[in-house]
Amino acid sequence: MTAGGPTWDAVVVGGGVAGLVAARDLAAAGLRTVVLDADAEPGGAVRGHTVAGLRLDAGAESFATRGGTVAAYLGELGLRDRVCLPASHGSWVHLPSGDGPLPRAGLLGIPSEPFAADVRRTIGLVGALRASLDRVLPARVGAAAPSLGALVRARLGARVLDRLVRPVVAGVHASDPDDLDVGAVSPGLPAALRESRSLTRAVRTLRASAPAGSAVQGIEGGLHVLVDTLVADLRAQGVEVRTGTRARRLRPDPAEAVAYDVELGEGTALRTRRVVLASPAAADLLAEHAPGGSLPSLDAGAVVTLVTLVVDAPALDGAPRGTGVLVAREASDVTAKALTHATAKWPWLARTVPAGRHVVRLSYGRAGDADRVPDDEDALVDLGLRDASVLLGARLDRSVLVGSAVVRWTQALPRPSAAHREAVAQVRATAAALPGVAVCGAWTAGNGLASVIPDARAAASALVG
Ligand SMILES: Cc1cc2nc3c(=O)[nH]c(=O)nc-3n(C[C@H](O)[C@H](O)[C@H](O)COP(=O)(O)OP(=O)(O)OC[C@H]3O[C@@H](n4cnc5c(N)ncnc54)[C@H](O)[C@@H]3O)c2cc1C
């Protein structure tokens, strides 16, 4: 290689879980690797933060159990004994007509049994009767549905969509079911649907294959323990994890068969033969190499604001709304779209707090809500206390507040719309034409660790091979 800064075997752009996982496999193959992350801390959406002396997740707090992929990976990292299930209290949906339970045996709010007591309580007899038609409707109904919303509406009716699926999708994906591709949000669902010819039966099949009947698991100590463990493991393998460092340009060296300068600005660049682009910045970094010199924009995702409250409130000891509440858009008395009662959900966390102390996390940021969510942190904490009081049926105000934190996530939850998937295909095609360049991350694999981890390993493996 010629001049142009230090030489690395591999440069990973993005130190979220995708980048860290890819870097670990590159290092294991004996490659001298550096991870660059623009933020002050690595981990992306899985980093931790400290609130009222408690180490908590600042973003993601659980992972989907489908396929057992994430648990198997945690086992490789020596974290098998820390994998845990959420408490089995169940969760609720807040509707203008009152609160109702969410189906325990459901997927994205889609019930597996329309006449189950919890489902009937929330969608009523009329809704349950309409949903039960799913078992007799011909398989072609909904088969060509362009979105998750259209599929649910066609097979189960509007009540299941509005009272169950829409609130869950807003809470989990910060999106609307009418904008989401079915396979992108639930990779196994299209095949299960084709096989069972009924949406509720397909959900039952998928749920039956989840360990211990739970669709999600966590890590004792919080999901950020994964990031802490990965970073420690990488450093032990000699990988440099460089934070506060943004990659600004990717420049192939025409004089070399396969060599790139990853430019960091101010005349600094890293030379390498292998580049993993593990962040949505891939679209910007690859644009000049695309046919025509530009690429369409990836979906930026909704801005999600999380308000964490640590409160001394013994009234919450009985977990009045189970592990949490999702809020239907039509409910005008609350601005939040979801509330997680973290100390009710995670027994390990409950064990770390004094009696009567609780951790509650509210999530804000539906499309079109910008003017309803204040910018000011104090105002957000007040709004969080007010919303939590309504959702949990307990008076929570500043007098019971022990600590709080506000975290804003941007570009962290891309919505897998048709336009986004088309943009991803073009970014991937551009990367594929550059030898030694691989891409990974939630922006291409889909949100959630169950999608991100295998995708990141595949990216690393393509470069090692
Ligand atoms: C609030 C929230 C809650 C979530 N909850 C869950 C959950 O409970 N369960 C679940 O499975 N998933 C959840 N997710 C989704 C999951 O966290 C993500 O899909 C996953 O962590 C994405 O990992 P990633 O590495 O692809 O991207 P990210 O975590 O977004 O990491 C990308 C990294 O790239 C860095 N970067 C960006 N541009 C550059 C650049 N030019 N140069 C260098 N670095 C750059 C960023 O600083 C960032 O650290 C949640 C996400 C959010 C935002």
Position 290 scores a pLDDT of: 96
Interval between CA 46 and ligand 1 midpoint (Å):
7
Ligand 1: nearest atom to the Cα of 409: 53
**Which range among 153-167, 212-226, 311-325 shows the weakest confidence by mean pLDDT?**
212-226
What residues does ligand 1 touch, defined as CB less than 6 Å away?
13-19, 36-39, 44-46, 59-64, 246-247, 278-279, 281, 304, 306, 409, 412-413, 441-442, 447-449, 452
String of DSSP letters for 293-342 = G--PPPP----EEEEEEEEE-GGGTT-TTTTEEEE-TT-TT---SEEEEH
**What letter does residue 52 receive in the DSSP assignment?**
T
Interval between CA 205 and ligand 1 midpoint (Å):
29
The Cα angle at residue 236 between residues 234 and 238, in degrees rounded to 5: 70
Residue nearest to atom 1 of ligand 1 (CA): 59
Per residue in 199-234, pLDDT tens? 999 999 988 876 555 778 999 999 999 999 999 999
Residue nearest to atom 36 of ligand 1 (CA): 14
Per residue in 55-113, pLDDT tens? 999 999 999 888 889 999 999 999 999 999 999 888 999 999 899 998 888 889 999 99
Interval between CA 115 and ligand 1 midpoint (Å):
38
pLDDT tier, 1 (very low <50, low <70, confident <90, very high otherwise): very low
> How far from 67 is each of 45, 48, 211, 362, CA to CA, in Å?
22, 26, 9, 29
- Report whether 232 contacts 224 (CB < 8 A): no
Q: How many CB atoms lie within 10 A of CB 232?
A: 12
